[in-house]
Amino acid sequence: MSDLLSFLGGLDLQELWGIVWLSLWVSAAALMLATAIALPLAALLALRRFPGRDAVINTLHTFMGLPPVVVGLFLYLLLSRQGLLGFLSLLYTPGAMVLAQTILAWPIVASLAHAAIVNVDPVIRQAAVTLGATPRQQAVTIIKEARYGIISAIMAGFGRANAEVGAVLIVGGNIAGYTRVMTTAIALETDKGNFELGIVLGIILLALALLANLALRRLQRRGRGAGLEMSSWA
Partner 1 sequence: MGLRLEAASLRKTYNSNPVLRDCSYAFAAGRTYAFLGPNGSGKSTLFRILALLEQADAGQVNYLENGAALGQNLELRRRFTLVLPRPGIFNTTVFHNVAYGLKIRGVKSGELEVRVREILASVGLAHKRGQRALDLSSGETKRLGLARAMVLAPEILFLDEPTANIDPRNTEIIEDIILRMKAGGRATILMITHDPAQADRLGDELLYFKDGRLLAG
> Could you list the residues that contact partner 1 (CB under 8 A)?
121, 123-134, 137, 141, 144-145, 223-228, 230-231, 233-234
The Cα-based distances of 125 to 138, 143, 233 in angstroms read 6, 10, 14
The DSSP call for residue 80 is: S
Minimum gap (Å) between residue 43 Cβ and partner 1: 17
Give the contacts of 81 (CB within 8 A, at least 6 positions apart): 91
Q: Which of 124, 191, 159, 188 is CA-nearest to residue 23?
A: 159
Minimum gap (Å) between residue 153 Cβ and partner 1: 17
> Hey, which bits of 47-195 come out as E strands?
none
233: left (phi over 0), alpha (psi -120 to 50) or beta: alpha
Q: Which of 88, 96, 104, 111 is CA-nearest to residue 42?
A: 111
Minimum gap (Å) between residue 218 Cβ and partner 1: 16
Minimum gap (Å) between residue 223 Cβ and partner 1: 7
Minimum gap (Å) between residue 17 Cβ and partner 1: 40
Minimum gap (Å) between residue 132 Cβ and partner 1: 4
3-state SS, one letter per residue, for 128-168 = HHHCCCCHHHHHHHHHHHCHHHHHHHHHHHHHHHHHCCHHH
Minimum gap (Å) between residue 123 Cβ and partner 1: 4
Q: Which is nearer to partner 1, 51 or 225 (CB)?
A: 225
Q: Which is nearer to partner 1, 9 or 132 (CB)?
A: 132
Residue 195's CB is within 10 A of a number of other CB atoms, namely: 12
Q: Which is nearer to partner 1, 127 or 207 (CB)?
A: 127
Give the contacts of 157 (CB within 8 A, at least 6 positions apart): 31, 34, 35, 38, 105, 106, 108, 109, 112
Q: Which is nearer to partner 1, 114 or 125 (CB)?
A: 125
By three-state DSSP, how is residue 180 classified? coil
